[in-house]
Amino acid sequence: MVNRLARYEFSERLADILGESQRDLRFRVTLMVTGGLVAPGPRGRGSPLATPQYAAHLLIGAMAAPQQAQTVEAIRCYENLRPAAVAAGGNTPRVLFGPAVAAAAADEQPESAIRLDGLRFGEALARLLELACADETRAIVAADLFGVWINRGCPVASLQFSAWWQGRRAVFSHTYGLAPDAAPPAWLDPERGGVVDPGLFHTVFLPVRKLIEIGCLTTLSDDRSSPMLNKLGHKMAAIANMAKLAAKTPHGSRWEKLLSTLASVKAWSDQVDTQENRLVEVGNFGSNPGELRMYTYLPHDLPADAPLVVVLHGCTQSAASYNKGSGWSTVADRHGFALLFPQQQWNNNPLRCFNWFRPEDNERERGEPESIRQMVNKMLADHDIDRSRVYVTGTSSGGAMTTVMLASYPEVFAGGAVIAGVPYRTAKGLQEGLESIFQGRSRSGEEWGALVRAASAHQGPWPKLSIWHGDADTAVKPVNAEEIIKQWVNVHGLDERPTIEMRVDGYPRRVWQGADGDELIESYTITGMSHGAALDPGPEPQQCGTAAPFFNAVGISSTHRIADFWGLLADRPARSKAPEVVEPAPRADSARKAAAADRASEAARTAGPVEMPEHGAGEKSAGEPGPAHASGSNDRWRTTGSPLGLDVHGIISASLQAAGLLKGGSRPRSTAPLGIDVPGIISTALEAAGVLKGLGQHTTAASPDAALRNAGWEGAGWDLLLEDPRAFRGGSMLYGHASSGDAGAVGARAQSITRRVALGPRPELSYVRRLDLNAAVNDYTSASFRVLVDGVIVDEVTAIGMVHQENEWLRQSAVDLARFANRTVTLTLEVAAYSNIYSTVYAKAWVDQVTISNAVDVAHC
């Protein structure tokens, strides 16, 4: 059995989760026993165990019954609710997130991976609690279920599932109602003295997080032949079987945690895949024994004899999402090289990992390595690529496959980079693979090196290698990085002790040099970082990528520095922080001045993100990873109120840094000489002289419309709430409201505000919001919030026949606006409501920190 929690103890824990009194829940348990719903038993330690079926009964009683005395009747009524048929035309209640894809698929409702067909509400809820209790299926519930909804004022309940539909994330409501011959509960039946009390008859919602917490407190029987796994979809059942297999090992809990994390990685990856991406798929590249897909990216100005970088994604990621997170195409644009993105298919691996642990997929001329080699040959044949400058890199399973490629085809690759990976041939099969990532496998350098030398007939020279790993990585144990070093130091015939040790951007870097002084192996240890790649997102020349699951914003860019290690940065931009090397080589005064002038010119040319209407750009969202010493360079790009959106403060800072008077890469107040904010003083002086409008300075408007106009917005139905304590960071925020079905008005009603913005070559939108969309009137009423650019929806939330409330601020980041690049566009915020009867439907939105990176604001802020 999983747990041994008794009924009465379970009721106390359930009360804490639901925010109810323990006395209330204990009394409901007593009513369940006296009412014959559950068999009586002794109290205390001898009490019967709390099973998922028992938990479902008590949960329904607590959520559905307006008063304690109605607990038993509520359970008997609501547990027998039958699944309702889908409304005609597919208008089942749902909430949609994100813009619609132009070439949408068929208009059918997607199937959830959790199948509860034909079950009554009580049975379905018990089944979900079983899935949440079992280690092998808990991550599936977390990924698929949105929550449980019960209406006390009408015998209706629903299970809400999250799925992808027509290229958008959606929440679908599986509704349950009374059977045709069933009677409503007494408190809703006028014939039995039912009286409507609006104070009690409200709806109750239980989010999936709490349902999983409740499920973990229940006890499964020793008979694990429950049909719950049979109810799962094909893909999720395969994942569950992998988890069930792994649960038998000493690392079962770590595998479960990794599966849960991969669910969020997959959700972000799927979201990126529905948007425009920069990659092009290529077919017919060879026999493709590994059954992989081939994607490429070629900059518009690709030079002759360009290098080629092969980029391998991690588990549940895709080629497009890995490119989005890592920023490889951004660096390729800056420095002129081609990119190849092999992509795993779901039918090859249930987590879309590269199969680095299978003998048929980690040997030369077999499986996935051979497919990747064929893709490289296709690139060499179709494009003007320098055969001597082909490189390969990857993260996690992609990092493990990188070592496979370097060992299997060392003559193909001039270098590689392994991020959070494992040594070549560390495992034969899944079980050994799990042991390798969770525990590590130690061998001598000679043993590791022999595995590489045996993989091919190659005698050298060998590829150079960059190795990256976070020392707080719980998915792939950091010891694997040390074993990779031992393997490739031996292959290169080098001493195991590094030639040079230094700190770069605050992180330890070790270097192993060859006899001629060339750097053959480097290793970065990112202190405090969990699993994934190290990033430094931002607009500066040494920054790239997007923070996301497994892409950690820690103030150093692995993508940029790996490309530099390979020698791909012909025109190297200035780094945010100079490496702290022992005995640094002196720089000639003329070279120093030239580099300073270049940096000042670059700073003057680059405009930072534009924020509307008035708050600081680039603030880190809650929970964003990164150590305390991570770069705070984003703070230099606060551009609100600047003429034409130019970051005068940032330009002054960059110029002072170039002259050696101000340390770069950190917050000005902490790094300026004697702690004095020199750029701020200069900016303030310019403001006093009337040359520069003060940042964040606003004149109180005589009316809401005037306040909007002063902030650069125009429109109706929206207000600029000044100095509102409810704003995301205090201060001011935008508020929009639209309603339909009230005051004799039905049909579509919309309220919107707009402003003009000039975009640069790589614009991205971010903002924070809170929404209250109430469309729970019938299956056809709707409420929505949309963000549009030139009339094209770039972000959207629509509730159809449902209520969607965001009680906490939600940050939407990195909304890609590349299709509007280098244009002056109209940005629109819109709330809309539609009701077909005289019953109110409304949409409310609170929006703050609207920011477009890589833009020049031509509107008055």
Distance CA 419, CA 396 (A): 6
Judge if the upstream peptide bond of residue 185 is cis by omega within 30 degrees of 0. Answer: no
Token pair recorded at residue 185: 């509960």
- E strand or H helix that includes residue 448: helix 445-453
Cβ–Cβ < 8 Å for 371, 289: yes
**Four-CA torsion 446, 448, 454, 456, nearest 10 degrees:** -120
Token pair recorded at residue 439: 């525990």
Asked about 396 being catalytic, the answer comes back as yes
Q: Strands, E, within 396-491: which ranges?
A: 415-419, 464-470
Distance CA 721, CA 623 (A): 27
Distance CA 260, CA 614 (A): 38
Distance CA 740, CA 780 (A): 13
Token pair recorded at residue 451: 């595995």
Q: Which residue is catalytic, options 318, 396, 576, 752?
A: 396
For residue 252, CA distances in Å to 2, 248, 480, 667, 804 come to: 13, 6, 19, 43, 36
Cβ–Cβ < 8 Å for 55, 215: yes
Residues whose CB falls within 8 Å of the CB of residue 372, separated by 6 or more in sequence, listed in order? 290, 292, 310, 312, 342, 401, 405
For residue 61, CA distances in Å to 17, 29, 71, 128 come to: 15, 9, 5, 17
Token pair recorded at residue 852: 């477009």
SS3 sequence, 575-623?
CCCCCEECCCCCCCHHHHHHHHHHHHHHHHHCCCCEEECCCCCCCCCCC
Distance CA 692, CA 479 (A): 54
**Four-CA torsion 504, 510, 514, 520, nearest 10 degrees:** -70
- Of 27, 6, 116, 130, nearest to 69 by C-alpha is 27
Token pair recorded at residue 9: 């103890």
DSSP state of 729: T
- Strand 803-805 vs strand 714-715: parallel, antiparallel, or unpaired? unpaired
Distance CA 243, CA 224 (A): 14
In 3-state terms, what secondary structure has residue 30?
helix
Token pair recorded at residue 250: 């000493």
Planar angle of CA 474, 479, 485, nearest 5 degrees: 135
- Strand 415-419 vs strand 464-470: parallel, antiparallel, or unpaired? parallel
Token pair recorded at residue 262: 């991969």
Residue with tokens 């190849």: 340
Residues whose CB falls within 8 Å of the CB of residue 687, separated by 6 or more in sequence, listed in order? 693, 694, 697
**Four-CA torsion 368, 374, 378, 380, nearest 10 degrees:** 110
Residue with tokens 């640069």: 760
Token pair recorded at residue 332: 């390729």
Torsional sign, CA 57, 58, 63, 67 = positive
Cβ–Cβ < 8 Å for 816, 743: no
The amino acid occupying position 758 is: A
CA-atom Rg of the chain in angstroms:
30
Annotated catalytic sites, by residue?
396
